[in-house]
Amino acid sequence: MLHSAIVLSHEEQRERLRAGCPEAVPVAHTLGDPCADELEVSAPFREEYRTALGIAPGQKLVVITSTWGTRSLLAQECGRPEIRHRIPFALVHRALAELPRDEYRVLAAVHPNAWYGHSGRQIRSWLAPYLREGLLLPRPESDTWKAALCAADVFLGDHGSLTLYGVRHGLPGVLAAFDEDTVAPDSPMALLGRLLPRTAPFVPLRAQLEGAMRQQPGDPDLARAAGALTSRPGEALRAIRALCYERLRLPEPAHPVHARPVPLPPPDPSVRTAPLPPPVLAEVRPVAGDRERVRIRRYPASLHRPADLEPHDPHLVVTAGEPGPRWAHTAEIVVAPRAADPARAAAELFRRHPGCALVAVPDPRDRARSTLVLREGAGHRSYRARWENPAWWSDTAAAASVLYGRLSETEDEAETEIQAEAEAKAKAEAEDAVGTEGTGAPARRITVGIGAAGPGRDTAPGSVLVLTRVAGSGPTEVAAPGARPVEGGEPAQGLLGAEAAQVPVEGER
């Protein structure tokens, strides 16, 4: 049976049709691609789509695209025995485990045939561990995949059409699977298979994605492949409607037709929100050797494996009430509920979490303020923490991680940095390193960012964390975080940086 009309999106397809089925060429019509036209008119509304998807300012959206069939991205991960018995959906796992959660969001656009072949319940069940850690999973009957391409910064794809749409839309990408046997040898998709890089198992995924974002924009070969998607940009709906009414032998409506922007993604009713956040592994590092500027990166603890390439030296942060003993009993930091009496709340949590080194108590009236209580042997030492110009990620847990990471980082370097100074000078600087509430001593101000922002800049625009020691809150000496107190140890304020006295800053009283 020969169709009465065959619709092509680009003239190059006509030549391939002529080679494969010359009898069909007379009924072939090159009318363009309505999806490409829809993405084109939706491009100006990128920020609206990002807001609807819950992408925070400064975050990058990674879209994982998987077509259907045994050679698709997700099917290959399920079908390989060495992966099936270890890590299901290894690329999804890797993206969520390796990409800092404050800097990246991950969305999986799975082909509708996979949904209907396995059922939505099965797809969500397979991906449940990743959904709990923030994976976005659009429903197959929606146009959310189009909104996601408009909102995305980079994609991980296979030989499915979303890879071609993504490149056409200007997105950089990396291929995680590609079936050369399925793709026509001279097609634009085959060209993309030769041009786009493949995921490397032993290179950090963040470095691969950032390399694609840095190198691919403006690539003329990628632009040539993307240009072969449609021969009639902006005309597909009008041309298809005219052909349909002609074949129906009906008069075409008088009103014009053209592509409209993709609707904003609606809330997904299948998404469930837990009353407490999942445990995270946090890593705090100085920026370019400047201990007054640090970068914090946080990762899902439940997806971490010892062999993971990132993070390198993290600490564990949980929220009070965490039911998993694996996390609750080993966390260095516990975030308490809001409490009017931070000391009492911290004492109770120290009792319930004997391995905990620091308890963070949010201020009940001000999200930007909190009390950080550090365990010191049988006592404790408290600090007031306050975020100036707080970002969306500047929460109590982040403040606690910065303090803890600063202590840990300085502890490791004490032999070379602190003990090298004269004892008298070190003691004098230690007294000024962190301001003491009520004494007029300067507060410590640390600029905190969440990641690289681009060429020539070390971190994205950050928030300033102000730390002030609370007078009379505990012993003078502080034990190493998570360890037994050592007689004659460095004072806590010294561990926060003896050089602070070099730049006195007016502190809180």
pLDDT tens for each residue of 188-204: 999 999 999 999 988 99
Closest CA to 12 of 156, 236, 185, 134: 185
pLDDT tens for each residue of 407-466: 876 544 533 343 333 343 444 444 444 455 554 556 889 999 997 544 333 445 689 999
Mean pLDDT of the chain: 82
Q: Which helix (H) or strand (E) holds 284?
A: strand 280-287
For residue 410, what pLDDT is reported? 53
Phi, psi of 292 (to 5 degrees): -85, -5
For residue 308, what pLDDT is reported? 65
- Could you tell me if 229 and 9 are in contact, meaning their C-beta atoms sit under 8 angstroms apart? yes
> DSSP assignment, residue 19?
H
- Could you tell me if 315 and 332 are in contact, meaning their C-beta atoms sit under 8 angstroms apart? yes
Phi, psi of 224 (to 5 degrees): -65, -40
For residue 309, what pLDDT is reported? 58
Q: Are strands 444-449 and 369-376 parallel, antiparallel or unpaired?
A: unpaired
For residue 195, what pLDDT is reported? 95
CATH of segment(s) 34-248: 3.40.50.12580
Residues 241 and 32: their CA atoms lie apart, in Å, by 12
For residue 131, what pLDDT is reported? 94
Task: Flag whether pLDDT at 84 surpasses 70.
Answer: no
For residue 442, what pLDDT is reported? 63
For residue 459, what pLDDT is reported? 42
Task: Flag whether pLDDT at 306 surpasses 60.
Answer: yes
Residues 445 and 388: their CA atoms lie apart, in Å, by 10
Residues 297 and 170: their CA atoms lie apart, in Å, by 28
Average pLDDT over residues 146-159: 96
Per-state percent for the chain, helix, strand, coil, to nearest 5 = 35, 20, 45
Q: Lowest mean pLDDT: which of 23-37, 73-87, 324-338, 344-358?
A: 73-87
pLDDT tens for each residue of 321-368: 999 999 999 999 999 998 888 999 999 999 999 889 999 999 999 999
Q: Are strands 315-319 and 333-335 parallel, antiparallel or unpaired?
A: parallel
Task: Flag whether pLDDT at 18 surpasses 60.
Answer: yes
Residues 339 and 93: their CA atoms lie apart, in Å, by 36
Is 0.95 topped by the overall pTM?
no
pLDDT tens for each residue of 50-63: 999 999 998 999 99
DSSP output for 377-431: TTEEEEEEEEEES--TT--HHHHHHHHHHHHHHHHHTHHHHTTTS-HHHHHHHHH
For residue 357, what pLDDT is reported? 95
- Could you tell me if 402 and 465 are in contact, meaning their C-beta atoms sit under 8 angstroms apart? yes
Confidence of residue 86 (pLDDT cuts 50, 70, 90): low
For residue 443, what pLDDT is reported? 81
Task: Flag whether pLDDT at 1 surpasses 70.
Answer: no
- CB-neighbour burial class of residue 1 (10 A; exposed 0-12, middle 13-18, buried 19+): exposed
Tokens at 226, concatenated: 């993307």
Confidence of residue 274 (pLDDT cuts 50, 70, 90): confident
Average pLDDT over residues 252-257: 94
Query: Which ranges in the chain are annotated with CATH 3.40.50.12580?
Result: 34-248
